[in-house]
Amino acid sequence: MNIILFGPPGAGKGTQAKFLIEKFKIIQISTGDILREEVKLKTDLGISAKNIMDNGDLVPDEIIMSIVEKRLAEPDCKKGFILDGFPRTLNQALELEKILKVQNSEINKIIFIDVDEDILIERITTRALETSNIREDDNSTILKNRIKIYKKDTKPVLDFYKNMKKLVTVNGMMSIEDVSKAIVKLLWFI
Ligand code: AMP
């Protein structure tokens, strides 16, 4: 089972991914987590990505695709994977199709976690206040930029998967547990 967890910043993709990897014993590929690790290790990639991430902008597609291609070639992906925070541009989605075709694999479902914009802002502000390990991209000016970029660059990805009849939508404004339950229901038939 290969799935994409899709949604705006603060929709709860990371939280739901953690639940799903336990439930279905598949792995999570979060491009954001991979990039944060590179930043922490101060690799060349991390150094070039840091400012972009701190501003809430998108890291160039070539960098993201080389990360994803390498990761998808690892044997643990054979059992199934959850993509979290990727693809974020139409170009990334198209490139992903090419990689999977070569591997004789495909995305089974893309799960859109739908959350209203005002709730997103509230959630991320709370996350920034409550977390001791504050993400540098969690303040409200940057959040507004992230939402703007989401609408401009990332939303077209939804239409792409909708046309392929692979898109399912979950109301992301329910409790975390109810969102998890709704996702499990949708995945049961794969
Ligand atoms: P996330 O943890 O998914 O919110 O990602 C944090 C930041 O990493 C984003 O705001 C981007 O700067 C960068 N990033 C993560 N995934 C991608 C992607 N697929 N394409 C471009 N930039 C990304």
Output the DSSP codes for 13-29. HHHHHHHHHHHH--EEE
Range name among 10-19, 105-114, 133-142 with the lowest pLDDT average: 133-142
Active site residue 71: no
pLDDT over 80 (residue 131): no
Ligand 1 atom 15, closest CA: 32
pLDDT over 80 (residue 96): yes
C-beta 142 within 6 A of ligand 1: no
Cα angle, residue 84 at apex, residues 161 and 60 outer, rounded to 5°: 85
**Which residue from 81, 54, 49, 42 is spatially nearest to 66, judged by alpha carbons?**
49
Confidence of residue 127 (pLDDT cuts 50, 70, 90): confident
Active site residue 36: no
C-beta 86 within 6 A of ligand 1: yes
Active site residue 146: yes
- Contact call for residues 62 and 44 (beta carbons, < 8 A): no
- Contact call for residues 153 and 93 (beta carbons, < 8 A): no
pLDDT over 90 (residue 101): yes
pLDDT over 90 (residue 179): yes
d(CA 187, CA 190): 6
d(CA 60, CA 66): 10
Mean residue pLDDT across the chain: 92
- Contact call for residues 53 and 33 (beta carbons, < 8 A): no
Confidence of residue 109 (pLDDT cuts 50, 70, 90): very high
C-beta 6 within 6 A of ligand 1: no
Q: Name the active-site residue from 36, 50, 71, 88.
A: 88
Active site residue 98: no
Give the sheet arrangement for strand 167-171, strand by strand.
27-30, 81-84, 2-6, 109-114, 167-171
Tens-place pLDDT, residues 44-67? 999 999 999 999 999 999 999 999
